Every structure is written in structure tokens, then in C-alpha cells.
């Protein structure tokens, strides 16, 4: 079975919505990092946890069968529509092996 890794990075404000998406899709296996710092490549403001740029992000790593990726990405798109000013991105790459 081909597996994919989906990394979701979002403003911490959207973390509960991502958790709810994973619950709704019954995607139980994930890793979550809070207080993630970064800046988007296009037009987003930096989230660096400083006085000047006080926001922070959360990141989720979800490993799913290839056929479930599109459903997960559609859920991320829906979150983006409702919280577009907050920032959310998803990145997909291949998983070579799982032990």
C-alpha cells in the first residue's frame, strides 16, 4: 500500500479545527508540534513568537494511505476558506518505508 506524509502547518488559532478534521476523518495517527515558528513564502506575516511578530504556528504530521490524501487536503481547504487570514498550508510527500 502506497503511503503519503501530509504536513499541515497552521496558525495556532486553527489547531482545534485541524484536530477536529483529523477526528472526523478517523485519522488517529499523527504527530503535533506546538509553538512552531516560521514565515510563509508568499504574503503571510511571520509567526516568530516575538514582540514584533507575536504569532505562533502548530504543525501536524499525518501518514495516510495515498487514496485518503485528497480527502484530507479538501478538509484543509475548507479550514483555509473559513480562516484564510490566519494561515494554513499542507505539504505532501512519499513515504518510502514504514517499520
Which domains can be identified in the chain, with CATH numbers?
Answer: 3-94 (3.30.70.120)
pLDDT, averaged across the chain: 92
Q: What grid cell was written down for 43?
A: 504574503
The percent of residues above 90 in pLDDT, for the chain, comes to 74
Residues 2-28, mean pLDDT to the nearest whole number: 96
Residue 81 scores a pLDDT above 70: yes
Q: What grid cell was written down for 29?
A: 495517527
Stated pTM of the model: 0.91
Q: Return all residues near 63 (Cβ < 8 A) that are at least 6 apart.
A: 3, 4, 5, 6, 29, 95, 98
Residues 40-65, mean pLDDT to the nearest whole number: 89
Residues 57-85, mean pLDDT to the nearest whole number: 93
Range in 7-11, 67-71, 83-87 with the lowest mean pLDDT: 83-87
Q: Which residue, 47, 64, 67, 63, is CA-closest to 55? A: 47
CA angle, 43 then 64 then 90, to 5°: 0
pLDDT band at 84 (very low <50, low <70, confident <90, very high): low
Amino acid at each position: 500500500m502506497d503511503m503519503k506524509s501530509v504536513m499541515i502547518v497552521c496558525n495556532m488559532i486553527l489547531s482545534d479545527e485541524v484536530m477536529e478534521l483529523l477526528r472526523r476523518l478517523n485519522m488517529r495517527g499523527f504527530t503535533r508540534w506546538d509553538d512552531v515558528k516560521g514565515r510563509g513564502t508568499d504574503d503571510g506575516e511571520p509567526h516568530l513568537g516575538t514582540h514584533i511578530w507575536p504569532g505562533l504556528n502548530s504543525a501536524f504530521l499525518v501518514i495516510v494511505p495515498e487514496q485518503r490524501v485528497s480527502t484530507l487536503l479538501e478538509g484543509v481547504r475548507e479550514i483555509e476558506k473559513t480562516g484564510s487570514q490566519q494561515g494554513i498550508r499542507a505539504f505532501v510527500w512519499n513515504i518510502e518505508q514504514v517499520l
